Amino acid sequence: MPFARNQWYVAAYSNEVGRELLARTILGEPLVLYRATAGTAVALADRCVHRRFPLSQSRLDGDTIVCGYHGFTYDETGSCVFVPGQQRIPRTARVAGYPVVEQDTLVWVWIGDAEPDPGTIPRAPWLDDPGYTVVRGMAPLNARYGLLVDNLMDLSHETYLHGGYIGTPEVANTPITTTVDEEKGVVHVSRHMDDAECPPFYARSTGIQGRITRWQDIEYHPPCLYLLHSRIAPQGVYPPAEGPDSAAFHAEIVYAITPSTEHTTYDFWAVARDFAVDDESVSEYLYQSNHTVVMQDVTALNTLEQVIAAEPERYQELSINIDTGGLAARRLIERMIGAPTVGASR
Amino acid sequence: MTVPDGLPTGDRLYRIHWLPGTDTLRGTCHCGAERTADDPVELWQWLLDHPRDHLAQRAVPATRRTPADAARRTSVPA
């Protein structure tokens, strides 16, 4: 499926970018990332201009990358500062540099030719908030990014694909409200379960025994950032009219959906919680559980990718009520693909 | 807390409620027009085709709308 260019995408977590060269392919463009000695993250095209050798398989020398094949050397901007055996550096000896913004422990890169506006990058502040504890990971997906968008926008699949972890019957059975904010370019999907079974994911991490009031409020900022505000409370406990919602447990589930190639995707996932923040056993449990859930999705979406690749063109899929949010997300992505500067309208 | 207490607000919202206890969806445009359907594809199509009407309504200041204008806002053909 086509890509939405001229947008910001998450290339890595901050702690992945260091003094080791990191290769990531985003929207089909190979990038090499590293951290300069001053601490700034750098993203350059991962192909030496000379004979295309991947710079990610080369070495750092201070803030420059020395190509592992013939020694062409590039600075942080992508300009070549040394070529072997001669004084003159050809005018065209440079690799593309990508705009980078590091925010909320995420390394965002701008993919496109238009002028980037860092102010349009959506926020995930819980990932860098001392009041929250975060577990996170990244799963490479052998499936197109649209399948992950579909998956995350329709959480009714939790009941069937993730039963025993985060799914209970009430998720699929509770009606949703979908809102598209045209000005901000955001899709909201709200599912409020007043009286629900508590899945193991939350029973074991919060200690709640018995039934719960469970709210799922999705904010999707296409194309890349997906937020799920998860509120868990003993059944019948609602937020007070004023003041903090301290009787409830809050988990901020963050996904960054970064297309790698037409048929592969980086699935960045994180769970930030405001409860049991110092309890490492809860962190370990949530990490293992969410990793399992993500891998259940990965297995299913990898299978779907193969199914789609083998099917005849113009297969007519069916959409029902549970797909209302996913359909809205698809439309905003399609609009971005058709309008190169749509990000500026946020 | 960061958890929203209610639904998002704004000037240009399209909203689809799945009416509890039914299979029915109710779409609401930011101009106030509503329509029910049992097919989300059809309902999104109606909502998104709707802006032609928005433009016409914006040309009429709210204080000068006639009862007929108001009726038209809430009775878009299904």
Please give, one letter per residue, the 3-state secondary structure of B37-77. ECCHHHHHHHHHHCHHHHHHHHCCCHHHCCHHHHHHHCCCC
Q: Which of residues 169-228 of A touch B (CB under 8 A)?
A: 175-184, 186, 188, 190, 215, 217
Distance CA A261, CA A28 (A): 5
Strands (E), A67-199: 73-74, 80-82, 100-103, 106-111, 133-141, 177-181, 186-196
Note the pLDDT of residue B53. Answer: 59
A333/B contact by beta carbon, under 8 A: no
pLDDT band at B9 (very low <50, low <70, confident <90, very high): confident
Model confidence at B64: pLDDT above 50:
no
pLDDT band at A339 (very low <50, low <70, confident <90, very high): low
The 10s digit of each residue's pLDDT in A201-223 is 999 999 999 999 999 999 999 99
Q: Are B25 and B16 in contact (CB under 8 A)?
A: yes
Out of A179, A239, A320, name the one closest to residue B5 (CB). Answer: A239
* Contact assignment for A180 to B23 by CB distance below 8 Å: no
Note the pLDDT of residue A188. Answer: 98
* Contact assignment for A182 to B12 by CB distance below 8 Å: yes
Note the pLDDT of residue B52. Answer: 64
CA-atom Rg of chain A in angstroms: 22
Note the pLDDT of residue A201. Answer: 95
User: Residues of A with CB below 8 A from B3's CB?
Assistant: 215, 217, 229, 231, 239, 245, 248, 250
User: Could you tell me the two tokens for A5?
Assistant: 């260019």
Distances A11 to A30, A84, A255 between C-alpha atoms, Å:
11, 31, 12
Q: Which of A104, A181, A192 to mutate to test the interface with B (most CBs of B within 10 A)?
A: A181
